[in-house]
Amino acid sequence: MSKLKVMDLRKDYKYGFHDPEDYVYKSEKGLSEDVVRQISAQKDEPDWMLQQRLRALKIFREKPMPKWGNQDLLGQMDFDDIYYYIRPMEKQGKSWDEVPENIKKTFDRLGIPEAERKFLAGVTAQYESEVVYHSMREDLVEQGVIFLDMDSGLREHEEMVKKYFGSVIPARDNKFSALNTAVWSGGSFIYIPKGVNVEIPLQAYFRINAQNMGQFERTLIIADEGSSVHYIEGCTAPTYSSDSLHSAVVELIAMPTARIRYTTIQNWSNNVYNLVTKRAVAHANATVEWIDGNLGSKLTMKYPSIYLMGEGAHGEVLSIAMAGKGQHQDAGAKVIHSAPNTSSQIVSKSISKQGGRGTYRGLVKVDPEARDARVNVKCDALIIGDASRSDTYPAMEINNKTAKVEHEATVSKVEAEQLFYLQSRGLTEDEATTMIVNGFIAPFTKELPMEYAVELNRLIALEMEGSVG
Amino acid sequence: MSEILKIENLTVSIDDKEILKDFSLSIPKGQMHALMGRNGSGKTTLSHVLMGHPAYELTQGRIIFDGVDITNMSADERARLGLFVAFQYPAAVPGVTVANFLRTSVKAIHGEERVKKGFRASVKEKLKLLGIDESFMTRYINDGFSGGEKKRMEVLQLLMLEPKLVILDEIDSGLDIDTLKILTEAINAMKDPARTFILITHYHKMIDVFQPDQVHVLHQGELAATGDLSMAQQLDDMGYEKFYASITA
């Protein structure tokens, strides 16, 4: 397989820069038992975690690639052409001054320290395989909130990690959850104690820097009874002509009446395979919300899931995906109603432009014991240009007659009349298209903290430049 | 008197159907001219073509606006030169607020400064003048608007954008008497020696309200007659059928 591919480099992708590589440790290329042992040894992990990794590696090797989704792009993946572990620095920084200058500069350019000062309660910054900076507000520490990178979580709260790690997404769930379990590094470990409401968001930022890098962060969030938390993650990577791989596993556990909102704004460069497994369990009267924004990447396959396990639990998945030239966003949602009086809402919006491909793939399942479930699914696709493509696969398995199910799907094109109207008021065709697209995703943007909404609209404007006609 | 708009021998078709045929018309600056005619006579096509709608094919002729040949310009270029159409059926843009839209279009046409200083106050004053509640600003462009709200939205933009040439396409259609009065008063107050109006209507009532300087009658894509207010009265008395018969006889 050729390592160099001719890419459509997004000319306006402003995060495509990279730093020179100057690392404490870089594993050999490719995946082997040896590499897995090295990762575990680097982290000085307990033996049970190493054994879990090795079992997962075996599962990864046994499992076939998914037989669905974009077979062409999946077929082009080369697992031997990836670096599975890079440790950029010796010790995690507690202040930005402790972070090496070039890495600090990168996060400055990404606006992280500034955002932290302005509106975040805690920040984790992961660079390659490891979290290089971490901090949390003192008052949250005092309330017993745990917000650590996953490696520190394992060291400092081993029993809790042992109990919950892989309890929502076991290694054998799918090929990529197995891969993540084998080579995971970094990610967040969060525990919110009973009744504690973290009102200001916690944020993690994931940055890939090296060429042919594989990033496999692992995140576990446990919100105890009656607590609430809003977690935001952002992701970027340099633009390279060879492929990178991002394959995270995120597990959320919302105990009775807890609330978890998990917001993602990923803006990968176009050489990144983004194959992520995200799943939540919501117990009685708990609420879980996935707010999932997908820009960039070569291929994204991601279907945030919610298992509504307790009576009265509520789940929402609100997602947008924008697919441009050479990109395929295969995204969607999955909700399983396993208890009475549970409710769910899925709103998915996809935009395909310049020959890009957007796919909605969803499953809503109502189990026989889940009486009076309420399901609402809405998928809207916006297509710009004749070569662009949109597909919808909304599966429903309703096994209880009392369920109330609403499903609506629309596919629309940017209408000539809308463009003409906006242009007749002085907006250029690009500006008019951007405005229509931003309007289309307004139900999503509305749910973001203001700073992120502004940033997202700006990103969309950059994406739309020159994309019309 | 200088002419702000010169339409020369314009032939226009859409889907291979000719809508305007060798159409010529000149309008002096500062005047208001009415365009009358039955449905399908080409009035709305003319307004779309003047604004630069890309669906129409111009097979002949040219359009000169303020001394500039705009025949091949895009709609946004024309808007920035000062053309404006208050549309009969404006498009809806879900998710985009009226406030965002007004700000963006005022900025596109008049520049950054205009949206910085006193923009909010200026909008507020115009909302009041048009009897629009401030909550209107957070609604989405024409999305779920009633007929009257759509017309108010068009006139609000007219007041904000202060164009040089205003084309009013059936501004009266579907309005109750009170709304019509508010809007026509606001439009009349916009009259200015530097501003030119084209009033598209099929009803004589609008002629009474606006008292245009000249009246043109379109018939099957051609300019059938031009005259003063008395011709509009004659048209109203006779009806289109008899009027056409009288002028072709």
Q: pLDDT tens-digit profile of B38-89?
A: 888 999 999 999 999 999 999 999 999 999 999 999 999 999 999 999 999 9
Q: Looking at per-residue confidence, does A92 or A249 come out higher?
A: A249
Q: What is the pLDDT of residues A360-381, one digit of tens each?
A: 999 999 999 999 999 999 999 9
Q: How far is CA A372 from CA A280, A312, A343, A344, in A?
A: 21, 10, 9, 12
B 184-243 residues with CB < 8 A to A: none
Dihedral over Cα of A41, A43, A47, A53: its sign: negative
In percent, the amount of chain A with pLDDT more than 90 equals 73
Whether B144 and chain A come into contact, CB under 8 Å, resolves to no
With a pLDDT cut of 70, the percent of chain A lying above it is 97
* B91 → chain A, closest CA residue: A418
Per-residue pLDDT, averaged over A88-113, amounts to: 88
- State mean pLDDT over A42-47: 96
Domain total in chain B = 1
Which of B:163-182 have CB within 8 Å of A? none
Write out the residue range of the structural domain in which residue B243 sits.
Answer: 3-248
Rounded Cα–Cα distance for residues A414 and A410 (Å) = 13
pLDDT of residue A3: 31
Give chain B positions within 8 Å (CB) of A432: 76
Mean pLDDT of chain A: 92
Is the pLDDT reported for residue A5 higher than 60? no
Probe site for chain B from A349, A351, A425, A448 (most B CB atoms < 10 A):
A425
All structural domains of chain A with their residue ranges: 25-302, 417-469
CATH number at residue B242: 3.40.50.300
pLDDT of residue A468: 54
CB contact under 8 Å between A418 and B53, yes or no, is no
Contact B91 A418 (CB under 8 A): yes
Q: Is the pLDDT of residue B243 over 70?
A: yes
For chain A, the residues whose C-beta falls within 8 A of a C-beta of chain B are 415-418, 420-429, 431-432, 435-436, 438-443
Q: In chain A, which residues have their Cβ closer than 8 Å to the Cβ of B52?
A: 423-424
Residues in chain A within 8 Å Cβ distance of B157: 425
What is the C-alpha separation between A454 and A439, in angstroms, rounded? Answer: 13
Tens of pLDDT, residue by residue over B174-209, are 899 999 999 999 999 999 999 999 999 988 889 999
Nearest Cα of chain A lies from the Cα of B236 at a distance, in angstroms, of 33
Query: Which residue from A416, A424, A429 is facing B79, i.e. has the nearest CB?
Result: A424
Task: Inform me whether the pLDDT recorded for A9 exceeds 60.
Answer: no
- Res A16 pLDDT > 90: no
Mapping DSSP onto H, E and C, the string for chain A reads CCCCCCCCCCCCCCCCCCCCCCCCEECCECCCHHHHHHHHHHHCCCHHHHHHHHHHHHHHHHCCCCCCCCHHHHHCCCHHHCECCEECCCCCECCHHHCCHHHHHHHHHCCHHHHHHHHCCEEEEEECCEEEEEEECHHHHHCCCEEEEHHHHHHHCHHHHHHHCCCCCCHHHCHHHHHHHHHCCCCEEEEECCCCECCCCEEEEEECCCCCEEECCEEEEEECCCCEEEEEEEEECCCCCCCEEECCEEEEEECCCCEEEEEEEEEECCCEEEEEEEEEEECCCCEEEEEEEEEECCEEEECCEEEECCCCCEEEEEEEEEECCCCEEEEEEEEEECCCCCEEEEEEEEEEECCCEEEEEEEEEECCCCCCCEEEEEEEEEEECCCCEEEEEEEEEECCCCCEEEEEEEEEECCHHHHHHHHCCCCCHHHHHHHHHHHHCHHHHCCCCHHHHHHHHHHHHHHHCCCCC
Residue A15 is predicted with a pLDDT of 84
Interface test with B, best of A415, A418, A420, A445 (most B CBs within 10 A): A420
Say which residue the tokens 């990168």 belong to: A106
Q: Which of A415, A423, A436 sits opposite B74 (nearest CB)?
A: A423
Q: Determine the residue of chain B that is closest to A445 in CA distance.
A: B95
Contacts of B100 in chain A (CB under 8 A): 435
At what angle are helices A429-440 and A450-464 packed, to 10 degrees? 140
Name the minimum distance, in Å, from the CA of A424 to any CA of chain B.
5
Q: Could A441 and B95 be called an inter-chain contact, meaning their C-beta atoms sit closer than 8 Å?
A: yes
Q: What is the mean pLDDT of residues A385-414?
A: 93
- B-chain residues within 8 Å CB-CB of A428? 74, 76, 108
User: Is the model's pLDDT at A223 over the cut of 50?
Assistant: yes
Q: Give residue A354's region: left, alpha or beta (phi > 0; psi -120 to 50).
A: left
Q: Looking at the predicted structure, is the pLDDT value of residue A1 above 80?
A: no
Query: Which range (A72-86, A401-415, A446-460, B11-25) has the least confidence?
Result: A446-460
What's residue B213's pLDDT? 96
Interface predicted TM-score (ipTM) over 0.90: yes
Q: How high is the pLDDT of residue A12? A: 66
Cβ pair A190, A147 in contact under 8 A: yes
Residue A469's pLDDT is what? 44
Contacts of A437 in chain B (CB under 8 A): none
B105 to A425: CB separation less than 8 angstroms, yes or no: yes
Residue A426 has pLDDT above 90, yes or no: yes
pLDDT in tens, A173-217: 999 999 999 999 999 999 999 999 999 999 999 999 889 999 999
**Residue A462: per-residue pLDDT:** 80
Q: Which of A422, A439, A441 shows the shortest C-beta gap to B140?
A: A439
Dump pLDDT digits (tens) for A437-461.
999 999 999 898 888 888 888 888 8
pLDDT of residue A356: 94
Find where tokens 């003048």 sit: B129
Which of chain B's residues have a Cβ under 8 Å away from the Cβ of A436? 93, 96
Return the exposure string of A385-404: e unless at least 16 CB atoms fall within 10 Å of the residue's CB, then b.
beebbbebebeeebeeeebe
Confidence band, pLDDT 50/70/90 cuts, at residue A291 = very high
Q: How many CA atoms lie within 13 Å of A422's alpha carbon, on the beta-carbon side?
A: 28
Q: Which helix (H) or strand (E) holds B243?
A: helix B229-248
Residue A8 has pLDDT above 50, yes or no: no
Give residue-wise pLDDT tens across range A314-338: 999 999 999 999 999 999 999 999 9
Quick one: pLDDT at residue A2?
30
